[in-house]
């Protein structure tokens, strides 16, 4: 698998899913080692895009140089964009969407940006819960308790206790434990939790904010309009934004439904 070196020397792994057409970089979300965006990337490659899917630092075969800062992840993405040809569209899933918007605001050579279900927090109760989560997450990871970090994340995401217990018993749990330290990185990308007005005002590129028509059953504890409300607030703060609601059952977008809409937007 190819790698590119970030500004601080960290090796960032990536795959090319298509070689012809406009460059398009996929940015993964929380607890993703780069695999979640692969089906979407394959659809977009078939639609005529030169797709690059990378593993964010601390995930998969990518390195993880301390100390962490969101600025380092922006530099990682800059290096991947350079490897993709020097200019690219972006797609960011979940917290990866927050990182994509952060990168655009920082002035990276980005064309159009699409983000799916960025989990910004709307309303003081949700923001207060976010602050407590960040505090508790830091304490759990500092204590080396990766399992508790995952439980905290799942509770924040609205997972009921039986779903958390099921996850702990599932074959995927050891892999999630490996990724648990990166939850702190996703939290940093979301900052104070609320849609960041000052940052979003700097994003002058066209931005498509997509959400599913329903909340993932695994997030039954979230308000039914959680992602839609967040996207609506963010869209109002962006200079050039479009909203899209897709009939998607689940937080991970169905590529067969989302890819054609993204292809139209990027074109």
Specify the pLDDT at position 221: 80
Specify the pLDDT at position 135: 98
Specify the pLDDT at position 15: 97
Query: Lowest-pLDDT range, 55-59, 132-136, 210-214?
Result: 210-214
Closest CA to 195 of 81, 89, 105: 105
Angle of CA points 204, 209, 214, to nearest 5°: 170
Give the pLDDT band of residue 251 (cuts 50, 70, 90): confident
Give the pLDDT band of residue 250 (cuts 50, 70, 90): confident
pTM value is: 0.96
Both tokens assigned to 221: 């504890």
Q: Are 207 and 231 in contact (CB under 8 A)?
A: no
Q: What is the per-residue pLDDT across 8-48, written as a single tens digit (0 to 9) for each?
A: 999 999 999 988 999 999 999 999 999 999 999 999 999 99
Specify the pLDDT at position 216: 66
Give the pLDDT band of residue 247 (cuts 50, 70, 90): confident
Q: What is the per-residue pLDDT across 83-140, written as a single tens digit (0 to 9) for each?
A: 999 999 999 999 999 999 999 999 999 999 999 999 999 999 999 999 999 999 999 9
Rg of the chain over Cα atoms, rounded to whole angstroms, equals 17
Closest CA to 69 of 6, 135, 140, 151: 6
Cα–Cα distance measured from residue 27 to residue 24, given in angstroms and rounded to the nearest whole number: 10
Specify the pLDDT at position 238: 98
* Secondary structure class of 220 (helix, strand, coil): coil
Cα–Cα distance measured from residue 130 to residue 136, given in angstroms and rounded to the nearest whole number: 10
Specify the pLDDT at position 219: 73
* Secondary structure class of 213 (helix, strand, coil): strand
Provide CB contacts within 8 A for 145, sequence distance 6+: none
Domain spans in the chain, listed from the N-terminal domain onward? 3-122+193-266, 124-186
Cα–Cα distance measured from residue 57 to residue 183, given in angstroms and rounded to the nearest whole number: 12
The residue with tokens 């940052």 is 199
Q: What is the per-residue pLDDT across 152-186, written as a single tens digit (0 to 9) for each?
A: 999 999 999 999 999 999 999 999 999 999 999 99
Q: CB neighbours (10 Å) of residue 233?
A: 18
Helices (H) and strands (E) in the chain, counts: 11, 8
Q: Are 213 and 187 in contact (CB under 8 A)?
A: no
Both tokens assigned to 67: 């100390």
Helix (H) / strand (E) element for 13: namely strand 11-16
Both tokens assigned to 108: 């990276």
Cα–Cα distance measured from residue 83 to residue 247, given in angstroms and rounded to the nearest whole number: 34
Topology of the domain comprising 3-122+193-266 = Rossmann fold (3.40.50)
């Amino acid at each position: 698998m190819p790698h590119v070196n970030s500004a601080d020397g960290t090796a960032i792994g990536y795959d090319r899913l298509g070689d012809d057409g406009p460059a398009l970089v996929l940015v993964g979300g929380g607890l993703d080692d780069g695999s979640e965006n692969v089906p979407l990337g394959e659809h977009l490659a078939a639609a005529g895009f030169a797709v690059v899917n990378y593993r964010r630092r601390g995930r998969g075969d990518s390195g993880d140089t301390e100390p962490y800062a969101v600025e380092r992840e922006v530099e990682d993405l800059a290096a991947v964009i350079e490897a993709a040809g020097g200019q690219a569209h972006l797609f960011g899933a979940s917290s990866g969407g927050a990182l994509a918007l952060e990168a655009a605001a920082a002035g990276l050579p980005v064309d159009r940006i699409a983000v799916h279900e960025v989990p910004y927090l709307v309303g003081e109760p949700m923001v207060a819960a976010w602050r407590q989560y960040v505090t508790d997450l830091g304490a759990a990871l500092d204590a080396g308790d990766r399992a508790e970090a995952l439980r905290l994340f799942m509770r924040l995401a609205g997972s009921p206790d039986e779903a958390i217990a099921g996850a702990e018993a599932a074959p995927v749990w050891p892999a999630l434990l490996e990724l648990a330290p990166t939850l702190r990185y996703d939290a940093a990308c979301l900052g104070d939790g609320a849609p960041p007005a000052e940052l979003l005002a700097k994003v002058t590129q066209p931005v498509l904010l997509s959400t599913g028509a329903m909340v993932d059953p695994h997030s039954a504890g979230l308000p039914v309009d959680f992602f839609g409300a967040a996207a609506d607030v963010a869209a109002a703060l962006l200079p050039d934004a479009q909203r899209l609601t897709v009939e998607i059952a689940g937080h991970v977008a169905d590529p067969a439904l989302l890819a054609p809409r993204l292809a139209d937007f990027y074109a």
